[in-house]
Structure 1
Amino acid sequence: MNTRTKYILLISGISAFGLSIYNKFFALTETSFNPVELEYAKVFFGIGILCFGLYYFNKNWQNLLTKIMFGAFGLCLVLNLYLVAQIYESRQIQKQLSEYHELDCEKITVRFKTDLKNNNVKYFSGGLVGSGKLSQNIKKYGIENFELGCQVYNNLECYNELVRNYLKKEKNIVINELYE
């Protein structure tokens, strides 16, 4: 194995290991479940380490083991980068939700007017009933849907009422029609 190949494997292996540790802690914090991508990344990392160990014991298989290490560490790195992107997106959504959650109905009315002017209107669907195709249908009107699950917040309901009134007045659409 030449020097360049050693460095590439070392960098990809260390990067994959570092991102696996990062994702282990932050994916569990952000999503509260263990993502399957992280499990696959661990398996690929283990395969890469195993091949690294076997590389020095069997001279006949060194070329094949090098290729397997590249593939295993590469897949581990790609899966971990995918998880980093998911964690970043989740944090951005949480940041947006916290901005709205802290506002009372009076301040949220001002925020709605600002969002309307900036074409950045949101809808916060929640409750016991699922939202069906709401996210897909409401996007046609330039509105982003945030699904909150079973949680319902009074101040976000104030914002939703403003969105419903806007859709009724400007687009002649009743929000309940968009659930189907």
Structure 2
Amino acid sequence: MRNKTKYILLTLGILSLILIYYNDKYALTETSFDPIELKYSKWFFAIGILCVGIYFFNKNLRNIITKIMFGAFGICLALNLFLYIQIYESVQMQKRYDEYYELETCGKMEKRFAADLQNGKIKYFQFGIGYDVELEKILEKKYDIEMFGMGCMIQSEFECYNKLVNEYLTEKYKKSLVDIYKEIE
């Protein structure tokens, strides 16, 4: 095997291993989903490592084994890059949500709303059984408001923030959240 090939395979293997670790660590702890792509990437990584071992023991198959290693590590890296993008977005969204979750009073939420309004990064916290995708699209596209699904447990401090969002929409766009909900129907 040439030096260039060795370095490429080593780079593929190391990058794959790092991304497998990152994705495995954050897939379940931060995003609460266990992606099938992660399981497949681990299998391809194992195949690549197995081929590395076979490469040193069987001199007749080295050309084929090298190609299998490229394929296995390449697929592993591609799957992990795909997952990294998904997981990274979820982790960042969770971090933004956590900033608000720490604010335990209406007064703190009002201060945060004022800061968000000034920065142009207003949020809306939707409560209920189902997540309204259409509402999210409208709030994001027309009003530049990011929406978070909060589930069934209504939390009063988030309702204080939502009340300010409603007042903002009414004042700036002459539409309340009720009007926006009616647009969806």
TM over 0.5: same fold? yes
Equivalent residue runs for 1:1-180 within 5 Å? 1-55=1-55, 56-57=57-58, 59=60, 61-103=61-103, 104-140=105-141, 141-175=143-177, 176-177=181-182, 179-180=184-185
Tell me by how many angstroms 1:88 deviates: 3.1
Distance 1:138 1:42 in 2: 39
Encode CA deviations 1:135-156: one digit per residue, 9 max, x unaligned: 1111121111112233432111
Encode CA deviations 1:92-126: one digit per residue, 9 max, x unaligned: 22222222122211121122122122211111112
Task: Report the 3-state secondary structure (helix = DSSP H, G, I; strand = E; otherwise coil) of the residue aligned with 2:111.
Answer: helix
Task: Report the 3-state secondary structure (helix = DSSP H, G, I; strand = E; otherwise coil) of the residue aligned with 1:4.
Answer: helix
Please say which of residues 35-44 and 23-32 is displaced more in the overlay.
Answer: 23-32
CA contact 1:137–1:178 (8 Å) conserved in 2: no
CA contact 1:38–1:80 (8 Å) conserved in 2: yes
Tell me by how many angstroms 1:48 deviates: 1.8
> What TM-score, normalized to structure 2?
0.82
Identical-pair percentage: 50
Give runs of ≥4 in structure 1 deviating > 6 Å: none
Tell me by how many angstroms 1:161 deviates: 1.2
Structure 1: gaps of 5 or more residues: none
Task: Report the 3-state secondary structure (helix = DSSP H, G, I; strand = E; otherwise coil) of the residue aligned with 2:175.
Answer: coil
CA contact 1:134–1:178 (8 Å) conserved in 2: no
Distance 2:21 2:130 in 1: 37
Distance 1:70 1:150 in 2: 48
Task: Report the 3-state secondary structure (helix = DSSP H, G, I; strand = E; otherwise coil) of the residue aligned with 2:129.
Answer: coil
> What TM-score, normalized to structure 1?
0.84
Distance 1:13 1:114 in 2: 45
Distance 1:52 1:97 in 2: 44
Distance 1:21 1:102 in 2: 29
CA contact 1:131–1:179 (8 Å) conserved in 2: no
CA separation of 1:151/1:7 partners in 2, compared to 1, >3 Å: closer, same or farther?
farther
Distance 1:156 1:86 in 2: 26
Please say which of residues 138-147 and 148-157 is displaced more in the overlay.
Answer: 148-157
CA contact 2:26–2:91 (8 Å) conserved in 1: no
Distance 2:42 2:149 in 1: 31
Distance 1:21 1:111 in 2: 35
Give the partner amino acid of 1:12.
Answer: L
